[in-house]
Structure 1
Amino acid sequence: MSGRNDEEREFDLKWADGAEHKEPSARARMLAARWKDNPPGPVPFRGEPEYRGPSGRSSWVSTAVVLGCVVAVIVLLGYADFRPY
């Protein structure tokens, strides 16, 4: 019985894929309705990011903090290795 359902399902998929007109998704219809009266402005392909993080620090400060932590861990591990038992 499942073989018959598989054949019917395959027929339905072929029939649906062969349709001349395909209905747009709900999101496409929503955006089309919204943009009909108020079209969006041009957007660059890779625009400058506006979000700079919770504190507004630049990326080099974050990089320095990470590298400082790595150096501190290396120093602590080196100190633990040279400490007499």
Structure 2
Amino acid sequence: MSERDDGEREFDIKWADAAAHKEPSARARMLAARWKENPPGPVPFRGDPDPVRHSRRRSWISTAVVLGSVAAIIVLLGYSGFRAGY
């Protein structure tokens, strides 16, 4: 084959975009077939997530546990340093 034939056979995106009929993708065809039998329900643009109960209470409890653990470690290290005579 010559270079001229390759140039003529090269895919032309403008020609493809100008096509009168565009075939949907496989996923679009699959969803269309599925929704024909069982259409999806309405969905808001940004659906609210399920509310989490006691999230603030749990965050305060975890914060108190972490701070209590840090305080206990500081006290133990200070006590051990005091007993060692530093």
TM interval, short-chain normalised: 0.5 to 0.7
Distance 1:40 1:77, change over 3 A: same
Match of 2:26 in 1: 26
Match of 2:42 in 1: 42
Question: 1:32 Cα deviation (Å)?
Answer: 1.0
Task: State the identity %.
Answer: 44
Distance in 2 between residues matched to 1:82 and 1:26, nearest whole Å:
68
Q: Which of structures 1 and 2 has the larger relative contact order (alpha carbons within 8 angstroms, sep 6+)?
A: 1
Q: Of 61, 64, 73, which residue of structure 2 is paired with 1:65? A: 61
Deviations 1:45-71 (A, max 9, x none): 22232375xxxx532233123312321
Deviations 1:8-59 (A, max 9, x none): 7xx43xx2x331354333222111111123322211122232375xxxx532
TM-score by length of 1: 0.53
TM-score by length of 2: 0.53
1:70-85 map, 5 Å:
70-83=66-79, 84=81, 85=84
Q: Indicate the structure (1 or 2) with the bigger Cα radius of gyration.
A: 2
- The one-letter code sitting in structure 2 at the alignment partner of 1:32 is A
Alignment gaps of 5+ in structure 2: none
Distance in 1 between residues matched to 2:22 and 2:54, nearest whole Å:
47
Aligned-residue Cα RMSD (Å) equals 3.1
Q: Which runs of 4+ in 1 moved over 4 A?
A: none
